[in-house]
């Protein structure tokens, strides 16, 4: 074919793409909101190419617009209710409150933590509203202005107190007694408001709160627009801002001096023409083995480009990025790898000390030949987590194939050191184990629902639960974690991941269901049963295949008259052990749709033992020994093992458990007794 015939369609395509890149960044609407720089629209409900809109704004200002016209920050739980571009602020709300669910009944979501590593700050123009809840059946201390704010769809009492200006660093000083305490920002009412009951605190809560960003912190867009340009995000510049001028060139601030001639257009056309003629030559040289020097040059150029992209990506995160260390600095922090803490399949961990005196655990990663940009993105996403039950990431190292993560040091080691010891309950005590179980669930709920990017851990097990000086549990080791948008209910992935004995069935065999946050719930349930039984499940499955599957073993002993005496449970602590066992058995239901969410798990912990019922027993051993073969994704047909199909159908005959909280407080969920 004549190369000239290919040139003109190629040129037309390039010009159309150029025009499209201009058009997609024009101001848009979402409901009643006008979306313009520094905000920009993206998300699964937007029929536009993500590549085309990547330059429209900073990643932190990405908004998703739902089909019903509701905007959210990158599809997170933080909704955008109104934007004031003049004052660089916007009114935000929390999805759990806006949906009318349990948000006004359970205020344990942490707004400040969700925003801690973003460019947004909670404005001092907000007013602080304080809550006391989960009072364990006691009345809160008497405080002037504290009212019982329980509304009709709340199953437990909640008390509210309206304070003064919001200050995240100085919470209002009130006595909490035996209650859990939290405080949140709300809009300062236009007229004086006194809390008298839930009827007026709930609407106040739903109006949202004000968030601010630094004016001109992401470029002087007004000046750019005044010069005839359009504001764009540019991660190649230190300011992460560029002004797109009418001649198609990106300038630093404004378009002054832009030449509105056709010379640049002619240059673009000539360049495209030259590229069109050179491509066939490059193909012949590289793919037919006659251009080794050129191939080496292109590889080196690509590598340096990749390094520049990584550097630009780190710069684009600005102050929200964890500290980056040189490899020489990391080895010095660990006293040249002197104190080894442990080793796993994904790296070696050494104890170290930062210059400010803080102790750290430094994990040097194995098999570090993957995508550096992906590593940075995952580090930044995990670095965004801020929760008492998630181990803190202090910094990272990325130098070619050398990669390391610097975490806070946990002096009491990991949970497995205690539950697999000779007398674990004597060392920690059942009350402490119970508190650890709740703390882990709270950390998982934060990962699943409160982060801007949902994180599925995929390796919840006692070895990955670290304990600080007060035995507060912290989830660690995100080596297997997968990140997904908060709107996604399922996850696409290749290959199984996890640890034998804790990995959910659907992660290995897709026939059991979709991989989702409930895969973590299964691992958590298995760990709960381990905490009760003190028996290594992985060992029992691998070393002795004839021995009962661990949940079967627990289930049978629980149903017998001897209760949990086989697990060395005494009558004094039987209530705690039984509740942990029941919750664990619900979590390890073979089919994901039969398991509770981690939020519902926390609700189960708050219920009394009498309110919980025994989950239906399933044929664990047969289902896991003979799982249905996976459906061939390249074909509409599948072959299923007959015995496996019979085993699976036995489970499917169990009435599908509904684990969705009812708005009617008189209706209980299926894991509670009717």
The size of the chain, in residues, is 674
What residues contact residue 449 under an 8 Å CB cut-off, 6+ apart? Answer: 77, 109, 486, 598, 599
Q: Is 575 exposed, middle or buried (0-12, 13-18, 19+ CB in 10 A)?
A: middle
Buried b (16+ CB within 10 A) or exposed e, 327-343: eebbbebbeeeeeebee
Q: How far apart are CA 439 and CA 390, in angstroms?
A: 10
Least Cα distance to 433 among 278, 583, 309 occurs for: 583
Contacts of the segment 190-193: beta carbons below 8 A, 24+ positions apart = 193/162
Q: How far apart are CA 517 and CA 492, in angstroms?
A: 12
Q: CA end-to-end span of the chain, whole Å?
A: 76
Q: Decide: helix, strand or coil at residue 186.
A: strand
Q: How far apart are CA 412 and CA 123, in angstroms?
A: 38
The answer to whether 112 touches 122, Cβ cutoff 8 Å, is: yes
CA dihedral 664, 665, 670, 674 (to 10 degrees): -110
Sheet containing 127-133: give its strands across: 147-148, 158-165, 127-133, 180-186
CA distances from 64 to 80, 96, 121, 454, 517 (A): 10, 17, 20, 15, 21
Active site residue 459: yes
363 annotated binding-site participant: yes
Q: How far apart are CA 67 and CA 81, in angstroms?
A: 15
Sheet containing 250-251: give its strands across: 230-233, 241-244, 250-251
What is the sign, positive or negative, of the torsion defined by CA atoms of 656, 657, 663, 668? positive
Listed in sequence order, the DSSP H helices in 196-262 are: 198-206, 221-226
Q: How far apart are CA 651 and CA 640, in angstroms?
A: 16
Q: What is the 3-state secondary structure (H, E, C) of 441-498?
A: HHHHHHHHHHCCEEEECCCCCHHHEEECCCCCEEECCCCCCEEEECCCCCCCCCCCCC
Q: How far apart are CA 270 and CA 274, in angstroms?
A: 6
CA distances from 483 to 45, 149, 284 (A): 19, 37, 40
Instruction: For residue 310, give the DSSP letter.
Output: H
Q: How far apart are CA 528 and CA 578, in angstroms?
A: 11
CA angle at residue 182 from 176 to 187, to 5 degrees? 125
Q: How far apart are CA 673 and CA 608, in angstroms?
A: 11
What residues contact residue 336 under an 8 Å CB cut-off, 6+ apart? Answer: none
Q: How far apart are CA 219 and CA 253, in angstroms?
A: 7
Q: What is the pairing mode between strands 127-133 and 230-233?
A: unpaired
Within its chain, how far is the Cα of 413 from the centroid? 25
Q: How far apart are CA 250 and CA 243, in angstroms?
A: 5
C-beta atoms surrounding 378 within 10 Å? 20
The answer to whether 616 touches 555, Cβ cutoff 8 Å, is: no
Residue of 32, 167, 459, 552 marked catalytic: 459
| Residues tagged active-site | 459
In the annotated binding site for ATP, the residues are 363
């Amino acid at each position: 074919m004549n190369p000239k015939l290919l040139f003109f369609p190629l040129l037309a395509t390039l010009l159309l793409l150029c025009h499209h890149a201009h058009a997609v960044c024009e101001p848009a609407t979402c409901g009643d909101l006008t979306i313009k720089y520094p905000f920009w629209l993206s998300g699964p409900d937007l029929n536009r190419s993500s590549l085309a809109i990547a330059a429209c704004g900073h990643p932190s200002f990405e908004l998703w617009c739902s089909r019903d016209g509701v905007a959210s920050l990158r599809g997170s739980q933080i909704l955008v209710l109104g934007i004031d571009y003049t004052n660089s602020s916007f009114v935000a709300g929390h999805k759990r409150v806006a949906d009318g669910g349990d948000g006004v009944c359970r205020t344990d979501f942490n707004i400040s933590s969700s925003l801690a590593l973003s460019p947004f700050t909670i404005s001092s123009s907000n007013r602080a509203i304080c809550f006391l809840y989960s009072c364990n059946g006691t009345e809160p201390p008497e405080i002037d202005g504290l009212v019982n704010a329980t509304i009709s769809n709340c199953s437990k009492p909640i008390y509210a107190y309206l304070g003064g200006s919001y200050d995240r660093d100085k919470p209002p000083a009130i006595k909490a007694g035996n209650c859990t305490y939290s405080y949140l920002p709300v809009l300062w009412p236009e007229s004086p408001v006194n809390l008298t009951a839930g009827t007026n605190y709930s609407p106040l809560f739903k109006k949202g709160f004000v968030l601010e960003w630094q004016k001109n912190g992401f470029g002087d867009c007004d000046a750019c627009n005044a010069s005839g340009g359009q504001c764009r995000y540019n991660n190649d510049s230190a300011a992460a801002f560029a002004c797109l001028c009418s001649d198609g060139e990106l300038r630093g601030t404004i378009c002054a001096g832009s030449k509105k001639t056709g010379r640049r257009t002619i240059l673009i056309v000539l360049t495209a023409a030259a590229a069109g003629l050179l491509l066939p030559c490059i193909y012949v040289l590289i793919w037919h083995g006659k251009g080794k020097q050129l191939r080496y040059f292109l590889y080196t150029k690509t590598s340096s480009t990749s390094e520049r992209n990584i550097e630009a990506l780190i710069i684009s995160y600005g102050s929200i990025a964890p500290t980056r260390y040189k490899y020489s600095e990391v080895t010095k922090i660990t006293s040249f790898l002197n104190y080894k803490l442990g080793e796993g399949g994904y790296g070696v961990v050494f104890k170290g000390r930062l210059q400010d005196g803080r102790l750290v655990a430094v994990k040097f990663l194995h098999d570090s030949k993957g995508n550096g940009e992906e590593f940075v993105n995952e580090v930044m996403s995990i670095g965004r987590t801020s929760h008492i039950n998630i181990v803190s990431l202090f910094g990272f190292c990325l130098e070619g194939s050398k990669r390391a993560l610097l975490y806070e040091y946990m002096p009491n080691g990991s949970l497995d050191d205690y539950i697999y010891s000779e007398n674990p309950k004597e060392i920690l005590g059942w009350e402490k184990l119970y508190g650890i179980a709740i703390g882990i669930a709270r950390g998982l709920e934060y990962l699943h629902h409160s982060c801007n990017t949902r994180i599925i851990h995929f390796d919840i097990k006692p070895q990955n639960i670290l304990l600080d000086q007060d035995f507060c549990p912290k989830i660690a080791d995100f080596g297997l974690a997968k990140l997904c948008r908060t709107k996604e209910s399922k996850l696409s992935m290749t290959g199984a991941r996890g640890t034998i004995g804790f990995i959910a069935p659907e992660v290995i065999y897709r026939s059991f269901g979709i991989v989702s946050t409930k895969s973590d719930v299964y691992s958590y349930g298995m760990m709960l049963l381990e905490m009760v039984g003190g028996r290594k499940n992985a060992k029992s499955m691998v070393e002795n295949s004839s021995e009962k599957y661990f949940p079967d073993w627990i289930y049978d002993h629980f149903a017998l008259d001897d209760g949990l005496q086989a697990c060395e449970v005494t009558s004094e602590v039987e209530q705690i052990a039984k509740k942990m066992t029941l919750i664990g058995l619900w979590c390890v239901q073979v089919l994901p749709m039969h398991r509770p969410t981690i939020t519902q798990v926390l609700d189960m912990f708050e219920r009394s033992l009498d309110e919980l019922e025994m989950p239906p027993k399933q044929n664990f051993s047969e289902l896991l020994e003979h799982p249905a073969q996976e459906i061939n994704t390249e074909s509409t047909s599948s072959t299923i093992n007959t015995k496996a199909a019979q085993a699976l159908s036995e489970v499917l005959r169990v009435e599908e458990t509904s684990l969705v909280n009812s708005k009617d407080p008189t209706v209980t969920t299926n894991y509670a007794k009717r």
